[in-house]
Amino acid sequence: MSQTAHIRSHRKPRRSASKIAVRAGVAGGVLSTLAVAGASGTATAAEPVTQTLELPTLTADLSAEVALSAEATASAAASYELQAERDAAAERAAELADRNLEKAKAEAAAEKKAEEAAAREAAERASRDSSRETLTTTAASTSGSSSSTSTAATGSAASVVAFVKAQVGDAYVSGGTGPNAWDCSGLVQAAYKQIGVSLPRVSQDQSVAGTQVSLSNLQPGDILYWGGAGSAYHVGIYIGGGQFVGAQNPGTGVVQASLDYDPPSGAVRVL
């Protein structure tokens, strides 16, 4: 027997065919699985990817900032509205001030006009008083002569006399033309207008509206004037019997009086 006959071989024993087959099957399955996975991955990669963004959740700090911003916006809007109201109020105040200014100017102008009229009236009264003093002697003589003239008015003159007598007791108003308030020239003009005779409006023009006549030759209906012819400051109507009717002043109104009461400077005859 050989010396090595009972010594085991150092070579590895051969694997059985069944084990090899099993391992080969497992390997094939793994490969198949990998192949399918790869194909699936390729197909998935070819499809478009849609990305979804998630909005951040409001935190307490961010909520506070939003609230503050809203509050600031509301405050600014309120401030703008308040400013608009103030501007509108200022504009209204300016308009009211302008209207008040215009009203004040108009009132001041009216007051000034009234004062001027009062001053003119005072000057006229003073002038009449002066005329009475300087013409007393002349008036005495003329009144005697006048009383001997005709005292009975006829025709249109009678209508003039009747009209002015009917206004005795009415008020005197500067610029008055009736029917219940007169100034001197307004009464004379109205007396002649009602018989169809048109006279100028003011005493200066009425004192030269007819033929100049002497105070010793007066007739009912003649226009008496005080002051100069063409510059007279007062007029009246002679009614006969040494009497006249005139709108004298605010204190007396329309009166019937004797020529001695207020001697005239001259007279004109229209009829």
Tell which residue, 231, 226, 221, has the closest CA to residue 249.
Answer: 226
Task: Say which residue, 135 or 164, is predicted with more confidence.
Answer: 164
Helices (H) and strands (E) in the chain, counts: 6, 8
Could you report the per-residue pLDDT of 226-265, keeping only the tens digit for each? 999 999 999 999 999 999 999 999 999 999 999 998 999 9
CATH of 135-269 given 3.90.1720.10, 3.40.1350.10, 3.20.20.70, 3.30.413.10: 3.90.1720.10
Using DSSP bridges, classify how beta strands 223-226 and 266-269 pair: parallel, antiparallel or unpaired: antiparallel
Note the pLDDT of residue 52: 54
| CA–CA dist 269, 163 (Å, integer) | 17
Q: Is pLDDT above 50 for 34?
A: no
- Domain ranges, ordered by start, for the chain: 135-269
Tell which residue, 253, 233, 113, 240, has the closest CA to residue 182.
Answer: 253
Give me the DSSP letters along 31-68: HHHHHHHHHHHHHHHHSPPPP-PPPPPPPHHHHHHHHH
Could you report the per-residue pLDDT of 203-234, keeping only the tens digit for each? 999 999 999 999 999 999 999 999 999 999 99
